[in-house]
Chains A and B, each alone.
Chain A
C-alpha cells in the first residue's frame, strides 16, 4: 500500500505506543533548535492503526520537539490500517540501517528487532555487516541479547561509554553482573581494547577463584578506585588495570614489580633505558643508550660496561633469575 501524506493532530498519536521506537539516547537540544528555526523539513511517519488513531513509526525525537514547541498538527506519511505491522517494521528497520550514522544502541536494537523478521543466515550475511556489527560465530545470538538490554544499559551504548567489543563480551553475562561491569566502565570511560582487557581479566579471576563475578566487582579496592573523587578517569583506568593485573597474574606482577623497583633503585642516567624481556619471556634484555656525539657515545658505552658489573645490575639480574 502507498503511504499517504496527511496533516495529523499530534493528540491523535498514541505516545505510549513504542512498537517502532528505536531510542538512540542522543542529545535532543540541537534538533529542537533546528525545529524552532526551520520547522519540520521531512514529514513524520505513522501507522493509522484504527481510524483517527495513529502509532508513530519514525520521528520520535521530532515529535517530542514539536510537542514541546506547542505545535498542534504536523504533516505525516501515513501507512493505512490494513498494512501489516511486520511490513512496516521491516521498512522502518531497513530505512534506519541506511539513513545515516547509527550509534551502538541503535544498531543492536535494529539487530534484535530484525531477528524475528529474517533468517539467521540473512542476519549474519546482510543485516549485521550493513550495521557494521561483528558477524562472527555466535554473533547473532549475542546482538539479540544486547538489543534486549534495558534502556539504562542501552543508553551507555548510545553514549559510547561501552564499546562494541565490550558489549559483545557482556552479552552472555547475567543482568546483575553486567550492571556492575557497566557501572565500572562508566566510571572509567576507557578505550575499547582496555575495556575488554579489564572485563576479560575480571571474568578469569572469578572463574579461577570460583566466585561470582559480582563478588570481584564488589572488592573493596576496585570499588574505592571506581568511586574515588580524587582521581580523574585516566587515573582511575590506570589504577584499575594495575589492580586487575595484580589479581589475574599475581606472581608475574610481583616479579615484574620487583625488577622495576630494582631498576628504579639503580637511578640510571636519563640517557639510558633498561628493559627486561616483555612478560619476562625469553632472554633478550634491552639497554638503550642515547648520545649526542661520538665522545658522548664513548662515555655512554664506558658507563654501560661499568654498569654491567655493578652491584645494582647484579641485583636486577638476581631478581630476574630467581624463581620463587
Chain B
C-alpha cells in the first residue's frame, strides 16, 4: 500500500456461512493472517460503519449491470460488474455516503457465480464490444491486494475478443497486477483531480504522485490506461490547479497508452447535501453555483461547466489530438460549446468510446 494513506488493515472479516469455502474467502484468510474471521448466517444490518470491518456476503442479485444513465445527459453505455459496495477512502463528495443501510465494506463472496454471469453475458452478445468496469459501487483496487479479484477478471477478459475491462481506482494498489495475463484487454484507470481538491476532498486517497507512479508501472506491464477527471471542482485557482495535474499527467504517461480521459463536473443528488454537511462539516464543496439539472441532480450552472471542460479539452488535445476525451453525463448543448460537436454527430458516445477501444487497444469483436 505504498504511498497510500489508507493504512488501516482489515481487522475483522464477517463471512456468511454460504460463502465460507469460496476462493475469495480462502484468499482473504491467507492474505489477512492477523484478521479475525467470524462466520454468520447473514451479515446483520448496520447503521454505522465499523472501522476495520469487512463483510463477505452471498450475493443473490445481478452482478452484471448497465451504468445508470439518463435521458437528457449523454451516457457512455458502460457496463458494470458489481462485486461489492462501499469504500473507506471517504471522499467528501462520494455518493456511497447516502447508502445508509450498508455502511461497511462489503464483498460478494460467491465469485464463482459472478464469473459465470460475466461469461454468460459476454457470450450472449458476441458481436457487441463490451466496455466493462468494476468501480461503480466501490473502488476497483482498494482491496484487490487481499481479494485477488483481478486475478480472476483480468485473464477472463484477456480471453474474450469482444470485451475490455476497466479497473478504476484512487489507490496505488497495482503490484498484484504485474504478472497477470491481460492480453491487452484491461485498462487501469485513475480518478485524478487538482492537488488542492485531492488534499481537501480525497484526503485518504493516494497522492497524485503515487497514482501517476502506479500508472507508469501499469503502462510498463503493458496495460492500457484511462483517466477520469471526475468530479471536477470549481474553486478559486481551479485553472492553475488542474493545469498542474495535467502537466504531471503529461510528464508521467505516454499518451499512446491512454485509451480515454473523461471529464465530469461535480454533480450530486440534493439528498446528498445534508449528508456531506454532516459527515464533512469543513468542506465547501457544495457551495458552488449549483442549479437543479434536468435529471434532478445539482450541477454547476452551464458557464462554469463549459469553462472547466474547455480548458481541459484544449490542453489534452494539445497533448494528443487523437486522444478520446469525453464528457460524462453531459448534455449536447455543453458538448457543442466545448468540442464544437455533439456525440450524435459521431454516432453517439458509446460508439466514440468503442472506436477508442478499437484504435488504441486493437480490440474488436
Contact = CB atoms under 8 A, between A and B. Distances in A.
A283 B286 contact: no
Interface stretch (A150-158, A246-254, A264-272, A308-316): A246-254
A29 to B, nearest CB: 42
B289 A281 contact: no
Given A282-B333, A283-B331, A251 B304 contact: yes
Given A204-B287, A208-B287, A252-B289, A280 B337 contact: no
Question: Counting chain A CB atoms within 10 Å of each CB, which of B289, B292, B293, B310 scores highest?
Answer: B289
B301 A252 contact: yes
A2 B132 CA distance: 74
A207 interface: yes
A280 B331 contact: no
Nearest to A280: B302
Contacts of A282: 72, 294, 331, 333
A82 interface: no
B284 A208 contact: yes
Interface string B321-339: 0000000000111000100
Contacts of B307: 323
A210 B281 CA distance: 12
Nearest to A209: B287
Nearest to A204: B287
B1 interface: no
B294 A281 contact: yes
A87 interface: no
Interface residues on A, range: 20 to 34
B205 to A, nearest CB: 23
A154 B307 CA distance: 47
Interface in B292-326: 292-294, 299, 301-304, 306-307, 310
B289 A250 contact: yes
B301 A249 contact: yes
Interface in A303-324: 321, 323-324
Contacts of A250: 289
A281 B287 contact: no
A282 B333 CA distance: 7
Nearest to A200: B273
A219 interface: no
A251 B303 contact: yes
B40 interface: no
A281 B293 contact: yes
A175 B333 CA distance: 46
Contact of B301 (A204, A208, A251): A251
Identify whether the interface residues of A are mostly helix, strand, loop, or mixed: helix
A279 B292 contact: yes
A123 B10 CA distance: 37
B291 interface: yes
B283 to A, nearest CB: 9
Nearest to A205: B287
B21 to A, nearest CB: 39
A255 interface: yes
Interface residues of B, number: 23
B291 A279 contact: yes
Interface in A213-263: 248-252, 255
Contacts of B292: 279, 281
Q: Which of B292, B299, B302, B304: most chain A Cβ within 10 A?
A: B302
B174 to A, nearest CB: 37
A282 B304 CA distance: 14
Interface string A181-216: 000000000000000000000001101101000000
Contacts of A208: 284, 287-288
Nearest to B100: A137
B192 to A, nearest CB: 24
Contacts of B310: 323
B284 A280 contact: no
Interface in A274-309: 279-283
Nearest to B73: A282
Between B284, B287, B306, B331, the greatest number of chain A beta carbons within 10 A of the residue's beta carbon is seen for B287
A303 to B, nearest CB: 27
Nearest to B292: A279
A207 B287 contact: yes
Given A249-B301, A252-B301, A281 B306 contact: no
Interface string B241-264: 000000000000000000000000
Contacts of A207: 284, 287
B17 to A, nearest CB: 31
A281 B291 contact: yes
Contacts of A210: 284
Residue with the greatest number of chain B CB neighbours at <10 A, chosen from A205, A282, A321 = A282
A282 B286 CA distance: 21
B228 to A, nearest CB: 23
Contacts of B304: 251
A210 B284 CA distance: 9
B289 A249 contact: yes
Contacts of A279: 291-292, 301
A280 B299 CA distance: 12
A138 B72 CA distance: 35
B303 A323 contact: yes
B219 to A, nearest CB: 35
B270 to A, nearest CB: 11
B287 A283 contact: no
B310 to A, nearest CB: 8
A90 B288 CA distance: 47
A11 B314 CA distance: 86
Interface in A66-122: none
Nearest to B331: A282
B286 A204 contact: yes
A281 B265 CA distance: 14
A59 B337 CA distance: 69
14 contacts: A204-B286, A207-B284, A249-B301, A250-B289, A251-B301, A252-B303, A255-B303, A279-B291, A280-B291, A280-B303, A281-B291, A281-B331, A323-B310, A323-B337
Given A208-B288, A252-B289, A324-B303, 10 more contacts: A204-B287, A207-B287, A249-B289, A249-B301, A252-B291, A252-B301, A279-B301, A280-B291, A280-B302, A323-B310
4 smallest CB-CB distances across A and B, nearest first, come from: A208-B287, A279-B291, A283-B333, A252-B301
